[in-house]
Amino acid sequence: MPTSCAIRAVFCPDWPDRRNAIVDRPVRVRFAPSPTGPLHIGGARTALFNWLFARHHGGSFILRIEDTDRRRYKAGSLEQIIEGLRWLGLNWDEGPEVDGPYGPYFQSQRTELYREWANWLVANDKAYRCYCTAERLNAIRKSNPSGYDRHCRYLTPEERAAHEAQGDPFVIRFKMPLEGTTTVFDEIRGNIVVDNATLTDLVLLKSDGFPTYHLANVVDDHFMAITHIMRAEEWIPTAPVHRQLYEAFGWEMPRIAHLPVILNPSGRGKLSKRSAGRLPDGRRVPVLLHEFREAGYLPEALVNFLTNIGWSFGEDREVFSVEETIARFDLSRVNPAGSKFPLEKLDWLNGVYIRQKSADDLLPLLRERLEAAGYTVRDEVLRQAIPLIQPRLHSLNDVVEKAGFFFAETVTPTAEDLIQEQMDAASTRAALEAAYSVLAGLPVFETAAIETALRALAGTLALKPRQLFGVLRVAVTAQAVAPPLFETMAILGRETTLARIAAAQALLVDTPA
RNA sequence: GCCCCAUUCGUCUAGUGGCCCAGGACGUGGCCCUCUCAAGGCCAAAACAGGGGUUCGAGUCCCCUAUGGGGCACCA
């Protein structure tokens, strides 16, 4: 029984509350998104932690689609979620496109099961039909923001019969215990205790016959044999409610852990599309998973980054592979406190991963970005440019500004950029002229030869290296900041290099000194 | 308003009663390297929210306060 041993090793042996000790079953965890829009990075993180937990324990990772809200359903979002998870490398053992023994994995296909168990609760006096109208509910909410007033819980049999006779629509509500306390043991935070009096008679089955999250979640986790629930912190308040549901059903509740929220990097509140704002440098803070992909982040960097928020590898290490993470992942290293989104760190990490990649792996990724920017890419040129730009990239998208000029037909520097410190148009033009003939006369047009010749030329012209090279850099790339000059020229080739130098020279003819 | 959760450098974090006048990383500043910019190397500044306990001893345990966050739908 290696699996149960592993779990026992991870979890403290002396928990205060052991009623729900699920330790002898193989680990089964789930990620349960609802197809209401693109995957949020916080959701991706939740999925990741579940996946890591499953892989660490040799258990199963299940993808379940919680599509019980017909009004919020968005076509295409399921595909987006699936694509996003795959991009991150989070494969599931059961779920959409992967059949398993506990299906179906779409809640919309399991409604009969929920109805059955909701009715079971009613039959056993643990739930009741509520006929309250939306108007009445709204009025209550105004005067009492903390829950339903339980009006229909105390209907007389006659009143109930009257509603039924009229065919009034109803929901099924849970009969929450009115006294006592409920305790939930959170694997990360310890016991969470609440007064039952603060708990509401929540709706289990909506009037359209669909279950609410609470019902569907509990029923599915039970029948799908889920052993551990890992979900975001905003669910903490419902944990005691769910515990009561498990009690009512007489089912063993899975172990549960609430992952810390991700907060906005600047400003306040949890990270959201609306409030994320911008970074100090003006970039928009990415929030949706696909936005990270589009911003040029590598999935392996993102995974590493996400595991550094709310969890730590230990050993003073920040950079580690998924394999290492799986080997080490456990809940005891999860930090319960919410954290701001340290995006600058992702930029650094992404750079680390870009530098670790081989040129062959990087090439198609960079080509894609260059082509998206409108360049026609020649692979031989890009392959040569990669070693030059690799240490200069933080995002895949940076390739456009770092190497776009390699693929441009012509380049258009300005006279102002061309003329270096303590130089004027005349001396700049003279430098270009001299460089042209030196480079034109080189027996071989290679980095070392170019460098030797140009350094000598700087001496001849009594220019500082930074002056001469600055002029040539702008002439050849139209940028003040670019990869190393001599390598750049060699890759560009003699013809292009000379053409660009000549063009720069021509530009200065009309420029007054 | 009510309920719940959290609180170590600017930020992400290590730390599970003595090994901590608190370690790492990003970022920031300085220096080195240098044709620009990176990358790399070296160095530096920078934190236990406050107050009470418990203990021989508290960043680590308890309580209060403050602050931050989350939740209070026929949404998940």
Residue A328 near residue A313, CB atoms below 8 Å: yes
Please check whether strand B approaches the CB of A316 to within 7 Å: yes
Q: Is the CB of A266 under 7 A from strand B?
A: no
In angstroms, the CA of A199 and the C1' of B66 are apart by 28
Distance of CA A478 to the CA centre of its chain: 36
User: To which H or E segment does residue A433 belong?
Assistant: helix A425-440
Quick check: is A273 catalytic? yes
Q: Is the CB of A190 under 7 A from strand B?
A: yes
Q: Burial letters for A18-47: b for 16+ Cβ neighbours within 10 Å, e otherwise?
A: eebebbeeebbbbbbbbbebbbbbbbbbbb
Distance A480 CA to B21 C1' (A): 48
Per the DSSP assignment, residues forming a β-bridge with A211 are: A205
Q: What residues have CB less than 8 Å from A318, skipping those under 6 apart?
A: A304, A308, A349
What is the 8-class DSSP label of residue A203?
E
pLDDT at position A267 is: 64
Nucleotide nearest to A334 (CA to C1'): B13
**Is A37 (CB) below 7 Å from strand B?**
no
**Three-class SS of residue A300?**
helix
Q: A383 and A428 in contact (C-beta within 8 Å)? A: no
Angstrom distance (rounded) from CA A350 to CA A407: 25
Residue A138 has a CB neighbour count (10 Å cut-off) of 9
Which nucleotide is closest to A232, CA to C1'? B70
Q: Which residues of A119-133 are buried (b: 16+ CB within 10 A; e: fewer)?
A: eebbeeebbbbbbbe
Alpha-carbon Rg for chain A in angstroms: 32
* Whole-number Å distance between alpha carbons of A474 and A489: 12
Distance in Å from B10's C1' to A48's CA comes to 28
CA distance A229 to A28: 9
Residue A123: its H or E element:
helix A111-123
The reply to whether A12 Cβ lies less than 7 angstroms from strand B is no
Distance separating alpha carbons of residues A308 and A293, to the nearest angstrom: 19
User: Residue A440: how many CB atoms within 10 A of its CB?
Assistant: 13
Are A479 and A402 in contact, with CB atoms under 8 Å apart? no
pLDDT at A21: 53
Per-residue model confidence (pLDDT) at position A13? 33
A146 touches strand B (CB under 7 A): yes
Q: Is any atom of strand B within 7 angstroms of residue A238's beta carbon?
A: yes
Cα(A256)–Cα(A151) distance, integer angstroms: 32
At residue A142, the 3 state secondary structure works out as helix
The nucleotide closest to A466 (CA, C1' atoms): B35
Query: Any atom of strand B under 7 A from CB of A401?
Result: no
For A230, the 3-state DSSP assignment is strand
Q: Decide: CB of A49 under 7 A of nucleic strand B.
A: no
- Angle of the A465-477 helix axis to the A494-509 helix axis, nearest 10: 100
Q: How many helices, marked H, and strands, marked E, lie in chain A?
A: 21, 11
Looking at residue A450, what DSSP letter applies? H
Query: A422 in the Ramachandran plot: left (φ > 0), alpha (ψ -120 to 50) or beta?
Result: left
- Write out which nucleotides of chain B lie closer than 7 A to a protein Cβ: 1-8, 10-16, 23-27, 35-40, 68-76
Residue A97 buriedness (CB in 10 A; 0-12 / 13-18 / 19+): exposed
**Within 426-445 of chain A, which residues have Cβ less than 7 Å from strand B?**
none
pLDDT per residue as tens, chain A (513 positions)? 122 222 222 233 333 333 345 567 899 999 999 999 999 999 999 999 999 999 999 999 999 999 998 889 999 999 999 999 999 999 999 999 999 999 899 999 999 999 999 999 999 999 999 999 999 998 888 877 778 999 999 999 999 999 999 999 999 999 999 999 999 999 999 999 999 999 999 999 999 999 999 999 999 999 999 999 999 999 999 999 999 999 999 999 999 999 999 999 876 789 988 888 887 777 889 999 999 999 999 999 999 999 999 999 999 999 999 999 999 999 999 999 999 999 999 999 999 999 999 999 999 999 999 999 999 999 999 999 999 999 999 999 999 999 999 999 999 999 999 999 899 999 999 999 999 999 999 999 999 999 999 999 999 999 999 999 999 999 999 999 999 999 999 999 999 999 999 999 998 876 554
| Å: A338 CA to B52 C1' | 27
- Reported pTM: 0.92
- Listed in order, strand segments (DSSP E) in A264-370 are 339-340
Residue showing tokens 């949706």: A288
Minimum-distance residue to B38 (CA–C1'): A392
Please say whether the beta carbons of A442 and A408 come within 8 A: no
Residue of least CA–C1' distance to B71: A237
CA atoms within 13 A of residue A425's CA, in its CB half-sphere: 12
Name the active-site residue from A175, A270, A273, A357. Answer: A273
Compute the distance between CA of residue A406 and CA of residue A334 in angstroms, rounded to an integer.
46
Strand B at less than 7 A from CB of A481: yes
Distance A192 CA to B67 C1' (A): 22
**Which residue gives the smallest C-alpha to C1' distance to B37?**
A481
